């Protein structure tokens, strides 16, 4: 249940406890091992209360995905693609760095549930970011898909490698490397 701010304080605290417990569990275990019973114990609520707000854990995961996507989209909404792809990439790394371990796990882990949520996030970002680009819209469907595959796989691949290496390089170095590699390909593509 997305919090609007108009809810009763008890409702907000309950939802926040559910989400906080859920993120803790994401950090500790694979999604497939998360159970509503344990989540409720950690959030100090009963199962009936959980089901008042969410029909399933997948609904909670989907809501988390929507919140993460919305936060990132807000940061990049004024950028024009492909011209400002460097700024979009920069915001991706800065936003990702702020979000913490649960976000990293969702973005980097191989769990099929997280792959599904990642795909949804990438689709939202691609449609929002690239959807208004005249250059992008002029491409064939095959070219659009190829471009999105290249950009998404390159940026996410570098992000995963950075996370897996323990973030040994400064975020500014990773942003510069990503932009050097990705922008070279994208600029050449649109030439």
Residues 48 and 90 in one domain: no
Count other Cβ atoms within 10 Å, centred on residue 5: 5
Residues 95 and 174 in one domain: yes
pLDDT at position 165: 94
Q: Do the domain assignments include residue 175?
A: yes
pLDDT band at 148 (very low <50, low <70, confident <90, very high): very high
pTM, 2 dp: 0.86
Alpha carbon separation from 24 to 56, 101, 135 (Å, rounded): 18, 9, 42
Residues 96 and 24 in one domain: no
> What's the pLDDT tens digit per position in 42-66?
999 999 999 999 999 999 998 988 8
State the total domains in the chain: 2
> What's the pLDDT tens digit per position in 53-101?
999 999 999 898 888 888 998 999 999 999 999 999 999 999 999 998 9
């Amino acid at each position: 249940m997305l919090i609007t701010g108009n809810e009763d304080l008890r409702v907000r605290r309950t939802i926040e406890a559910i989400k906080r417990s859920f993120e803790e569990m994401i950090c500790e275990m694979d999604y497939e091992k998360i159970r509503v019973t344990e989540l409720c114990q950690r959030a100090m609520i009963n199962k009936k209360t959980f089901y008042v707000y969410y029909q399933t854990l997948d609904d909670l995961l989907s809501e988390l995905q929507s919140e993460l996507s919305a936060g990132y989209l807000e940061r990049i909404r004024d950028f024009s693609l492909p011209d400002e792809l460097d700024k979009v990439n920069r915001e991706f790394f800065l936003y990702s760095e702020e979000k913490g371990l649960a976000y990293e796990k969702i973005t980097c882990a191989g769990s099929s549930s997280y792959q599904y949520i990642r795909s949804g996030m990438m689709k939202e970002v691609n449609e929002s970011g690239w959807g208004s680009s005249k250059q992008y819209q002029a491409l064939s469907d095959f070219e659009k898909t190829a471009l999105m595959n290249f950009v998404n796989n390159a940026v996410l691949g570098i992000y995963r490698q950075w996370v897996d290496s323990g973030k040994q390089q400064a975020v500014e170095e990773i942003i510069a490397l990503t932009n050097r590699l990705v922008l070279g390909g994208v600029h050449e593509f649109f030439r």
